[in-house]
Chain A
Amino acid sequence: MGRRGWILGTVVATLLAGPAGAQQDIGVLPEQARLVPEEEFTIRTLPEPSPHWVYVLDVAFDNLVASRVNIFDADTGDFVGVLHSGYVPNVLLAPDRSAVYIVETYWSHGTRGKREDLVTVFDSRTLEAEAEIVLPKGRALVVSKQPVAALSDDARFLLSFNLSPATSVSLVDLGAQRYVGEIESPGCSLVYPTGDRSFSMLCPDGSLVDVSFREDGSATTADNEPFFDSETDPVFEHAARDSASRAWFFVSYDGRLYEVAYDEKGRTKPVDSWSIVGKAEAEEGWRPGGWQLVGWHDGLKRLFVLMHKGPKWSHKWPGEEVWVIDPATNGVERRIALEEPSLSLFLTRDADPLLVTLTETGVLGVYDPQTGEHLRSVEGVGVTPFLLDGFRP
């Protein structure tokens, strides 16, 4: 409302009220003042989320306290909606498509004031914040990376990594919508779910620690031998998981692929590894890189990795190609040349999947993952977007 209109309205209302004692019934409008709007205003509700909707996390590097999640339809390139989020958030999608969980940090006065860390539960169709669960132990403030937070396999619990700089994990019961407690860690980081009540963390020496927890937040940890060389060839934080076998795939700076399988109790089994970069490709300088650089599709049973040509320590360079890898044969099945170098990639989770890539300047590339055909590009999905995700069908 215009300021002048508001003042005028106040004056009119004051005049209409008349002198004290001369009360009028203001509930009944004179006949000639009754305006019937031609159009009612409503609020849109989204349909059931499509598996081809892509949730783009824009960390907004120019103004980190005000990040956002922009939702785009990869089939049409249309804008679907937006969720606003705080400082370096993590975004998790409920497997039943009902909710978007955002793990985020705010200060009461923008960049100052009281800090609050919380899980905000957004309804996936109204995009309204339905619940807020405060994280009293805070959360790791890291430029948003997916394994900083995760859901248990049954989606009852949310696990949020803490770095204070001591490391631990906050456990949130999404069913009861409450913070349960803090699970301690022997200096290991990040969260890789391995079952309904178990997850692993990566330790500084290149080993995984396996953590089992109960609903009350009590937990036990089990150590393992290192499975990669954390000094000369560390694995990237972003990893991909086969939902059927529950194995995690980790990729190293130099392109070594580690398949970490788990038993039913969430204990790591001996690790298989091989290099996805052949001798000829290595000589050309091919190596993995980017941000969210690996993806997996359960139906295709293929791993997708962003690759570029560059020297050692170019692990954050955007990928020029996506290599499609069949872990059953340990072979690179296809190399998809990208329209534009890309930082992150995502495979939609449906039976008719799309490969979606993201550039540093906020352009989505949409490809057929089976043929490599470039289907379309969608521009303007964010200022400094980093991460992609989408619901299961």
Chain B
Amino acid sequence: MRTAVLAALLLSAAALAASVAAAGEVRRVGEVQEDYARNCQGCHRADGLGAYGSVPRIRGFAGLFTHLPEGREYLIRVPGVVWAMLDDARLARLMNWMLEAYSRDELAPDFRPYTVEEIREARRRPLANVGTVRARLIAELQRRGLLPPGEDGLVSAKRVR
């Protein structure tokens, strides 16, 4: 205990200098990135890769849902989106940014950005059976050849080591 305190005293001057120096180098994140960081990143990660077996990846994946009308709606009716601590306008902006940033190549050719009204309406109807709906959508995407068999965004999510 005492050793730790002494060490802390000795290190304090150097550490303070380092801390101040480091601050200048840290990049500033934009408002929408900050909304992502606060509401999504904890589980879906900054790299959008999710977590193997429990959190689906967004990157190179989420946009596929926009190929199906039910899939477009699914993305904004999942609990994580419905219960996000953002108003409808910021949530719409976040969803559109997220799809563009992490999954542009997978978006449907005729994809139109989500509107605030669409978000507001969908949030009133949180999905009660996310897993079932998701499985159906994944099967349909596979049937259409948009997803290889066995790929569901969970098996290909971030795996530790």
Contact = CB atoms under 8 A, between A and B. Distances in A.
Nearest to B126: A186
A377 interface: no
Interface in B45-79: 54-55, 79
Most buried by B among A165, A187, A205: A187
Interface in A219-277: 221
Interface string B114-131: 000000000000111111
Contacts of B131: 166, 168, 182, 184
Nearest to A222: B128
A168 B131 CA distance: 9
Interface residues of A, number: 14
Contacts of B127: 186
A205 B127 CA distance: 15
Range class of the B interface residue count = 10 to 19
Contacts of B54: 164-166
A267 to B, nearest CB: 15
A168 B132 CA distance: 12
Interface string A169-192: 000000000000010111100000
B79 A221 contact: no
A187 B80 contact: yes
B139 interface: no
A165 B53 CA distance: 11
15 contacts: A164-B54, A166-B54, A166-B79, A166-B130, A166-B131, A167-B79, A168-B131, A182-B131, A184-B129, A184-B130, A186-B79, A186-B82, A187-B126, A209-B128, A221-B128
A186 B83 CA distance: 10
B43 interface: yes
B129 to A, nearest CB: 4
Interface string A90-121: 00000000000000000000000000000000
A204 interface: yes
Contacts of B130: 166, 184, 186
Most buried by A among B55, B126, B128, B131: B128
A204 B83 contact: yes
B79 A187 contact: yes
A17 to B, nearest CB: 52
Contacts of A221: 128
Given A165-B43, A184-B131, A186-B82, 6 more contacts: A166-B79, A184-B129, A186-B79, A187-B80, A187-B83, A187-B126
A66 to B, nearest CB: 24
A198 to B, nearest CB: 15
A76 to B, nearest CB: 42
B83 A185 contact: no
B12 to A, nearest CB: 31
A221 B129 CA distance: 9
A156 to B, nearest CB: 24
B83 to A, nearest CB: 5
Contact of A184 (B43, B80, B82, B132): B132
A204 B82 CA distance: 10
A205 B82 CA distance: 11
B161 to A, nearest CB: 13
B91 to A, nearest CB: 15
Contacts of B82: 186-187
B128 A165 contact: no
A187 B125 CA distance: 12
Contacts of A204: 83
Interface string B10-35: 00000000000000000000000000
Interface in B114-161: 126-132
A167 B43 CA distance: 14
A217 to B, nearest CB: 12
A168 B130 CA distance: 10
Contacts of A205: 83
A221 B127 CA distance: 11
B106 to A, nearest CB: 22
A26 to B, nearest CB: 55
Nearest to B81: A187
Contacts of A182: 131
Interface string A182-220: 101111000000000000000011000100000000000
Nearest to B55: A165
Contact of A186 (B43, B128, B132): B128
A166 B55 CA distance: 8
A164 B83 CA distance: 16
A247 B130 CA distance: 29
